Amino acid sequence: MTKRRIIGTLILRDGIVVQSIGFERYLPVGRPEIAARFLDTWGIDEIVLLDITARREGRTIDPETVSRVARAIHSPLTIGGGLSTLDDVHDVMRAGADKIAVNGLLLEKPDMLTTIAHRFGVQCIVASIDVLRTDDGLHVAADGARQILDDDPVTLARRAAEAGAGEILLNAVHRDGMRTGYDLELVDMVAGAVHVPVIALGGAGHPDHIREVLADTGAAAAAAGNFLHYTEHSVAAIKTQLVRHGLDVRLDAEADYGALQFDDGRVSRRDERALLDEIFEIIPREVI
Amino acid sequence: MRENPATMTSPKLCVVDYGMGNVASVVNAFEFLGVEAEVTSSPAALERADAIILPGVGAFGEAMENLHARDLVDALDTAVRGPARKPFLGICLGMQLVAAESSELGQTRGLGWIEGKVRALPADETHVSPHVGWLDIEFNDADPLFARIPQDGCFYFDHSYYLEVAGYTSGVARYGQPFTAVLRADNIFGTQFHPEKSQRNGLKLLRNFVNYCLARRNAEAA
């Protein structure tokens, strides 16, 4: 069976990767190629790089940046940020992208999505849908959640799949940076309504959150941004917890991360004596 | 005169650029391995190469059209199936093109180097199409591509069509039904997955392909 995927989302703002909180506040992380390389070596299953200001500034994500990130990793790379034409898509694919993510284009020119799908294949297109939960229900958000639309997420997801999207990246704006877990109801609703893989994003703050969204909803993959930064080997440590709970994820690590526990979204501080007691086994480095 | 060590240890790889591939990622992976790969769309370059890599992302029909438009079909055939029998690695769509025909968007004839047919992955409740993600494969240990790769090794797949299982299948994956994950017919290799995107296992597989090319070259020199 295909492994459940853990996807790293890198949010690009003014050329650097940031942590995003509620689509409003941003904390700097660093250069995209370095953030990407860390995730890749820690065993991430895919990387999504989104330039969140490109469309608003009337430009596309810088293909040179895409190229630097692509050269830093050996895992699948999805690129989003102001892509509107076949040429835009061609440029980022040429720079090393494997897939593209579209958000504004899906809302403004869904026909263009179909044109891109015909040229590059549906497997190449990820429809990124931002959703905001308000007092009167779930709404699609546009322009970096500055606008709330009347559309409901299920209808838009179906429309995206019909227009030629091969995957749906479903971002819960109200959970962005909250570390309180995914919006399981939203994810399950959308995943149950479309026949393409749905990637849940927004809210991860603990391995249990990822376990919940993969075990209790129809999501094919869980994406996280903030949660994966600032913890060494975060991906391998998280996957170790998921495997322990019986989830079928790809854990290709030579070291044993079993002793790393999470509390409150951070790896717990360990007693120094525990470290002293650990018996290290020397594994000769394998040269590929 | 001593031979340049770089040319001794590195086969001349040609990555075919026919407007359908993630060529950069493939070249990038070989670069990581310290092997230079020339990107080309010229039939003459295929004549000079020691080995040929055909990547590919997109639709079968358009891919064949592009190969024809660049006069690459005969050049590929001569290089791979002529007396030189150059090692060939097709990746994803590049593997499917080796087949006799595909039902993607109407019947299209492929390169026809093997008898197999390419069909659409049937989608159902639990098996959405396209099939995207990491999947473990079962493979034939004797195949040189799999040296140092564990039997439950995972690779990254992203496809809506598959090559049926037959005699040429040397690695099988299951997504609802079994399909060809790796094909081998003498000097012709192909992977449905993307080794250039499969982290360590993928890089090992590409290294194994390079080693196969070197072994072939050394055997011919001896």
Q: Using 50, 70 and 90 to split pLDDT, how confident is the model at B107?
A: confident
Listed by number, the residues of chain A in 256-285 with a beta carbon closer than 8 Å to a beta carbon of chain B are none
DSSP state of B51: E
CA dist A216 and B8 (Å) reads 55
Query: In Å, how far is B137's CA from the nearest CA of chain A?
Result: 10
Q: Average pLDDT for residues B141-167, to the nearest whole number?
A: 93
Q: Using 50, 70 and 90 to split pLDDT, how confident is the model at B2?
A: very low
Least confident of A103-117, A134-148, B14-28: B14-28
**Secondary structure of residue A288 in the 3-state scheme:** coil
DSSP state of A149: -
Domains and CATH numbers, chain A: 5-277 (3.20.20.70)
pLDDT of residue B8: 56
Residue A58 tokens, joined: 């009337």
Listed by number, the residues of chain A in 188-207 with a beta carbon closer than 8 Å to a beta carbon of chain B are 195-197
Query: In Å, how far is A65's CA from the nearest CA of chain B?
Result: 14
pLDDT of residue A137: 93
ipTM value greater than 0.90: no
Percent of chain B with pLDDT over 70: 96
Cβ distance A196 to B156 less than 8 Å, yes or no, reads no
Of residues A282 and A33, the one with the higher pLDDT is: A33
| A281 has a pLDDT exceeding 80 | no
Q: Is the peptide bond before B87 cis (omega within 30 degrees of 0)?
A: no
Query: In Å, how far is B197's CA from the nearest CA of chain A?
Result: 4
pLDDT digits (tens, 9 = 90+) for A42-90: 999 999 999 999 999 999 999 999 999 999 999 999 999 999 999 999 9
CA dist A22 and A279 (Å) reads 43
pLDDT of residue B6: 45
From the list A3, A40, A166, the residue facing B154 with the nearest CB is: A3
State yes or no: is B115 an active-site residue: no
Place of tokens 């473990």: B136
Number of domains in chain B: 1
Sheet of B161-163, strands arranged across: B108-109, B101-102, B117-120, B161-163
Can you give the residue range of the structural domain that contains B203? 5-221
Contacts of B136 in chain A (CB under 8 A): 3
Q: How many Cα atoms occupy the beta-carbon half-sphere of A122 within 13 Å?
A: 23
CA dist B157 and B54 (Å) reads 16
pLDDT of residue A121: 82
Q: Using 50, 70 and 90 to split pLDDT, how confident is the model at A202?
A: very high
| B52 has a pLDDT exceeding 70 | yes
| B129 has a pLDDT exceeding 60 | yes
Numbered residues of chain B with Cβ closer than 8 Å to any chain A Cβ: 22-25, 28-29, 31-33, 57-59, 123, 128-136, 148, 154, 156-160, 174-175, 194, 196-204, 207
CATH number at residue B209: 3.40.50.880
Q: What is the pTM of this model?
A: 0.90
Q: Using 50, 70 and 90 to split pLDDT, how confident is the model at B124?
A: confident
Q: Average pLDDT for residues B57-72, to the nearest whole number?
A: 91
CA dist A60 and A82 (Å) reads 4
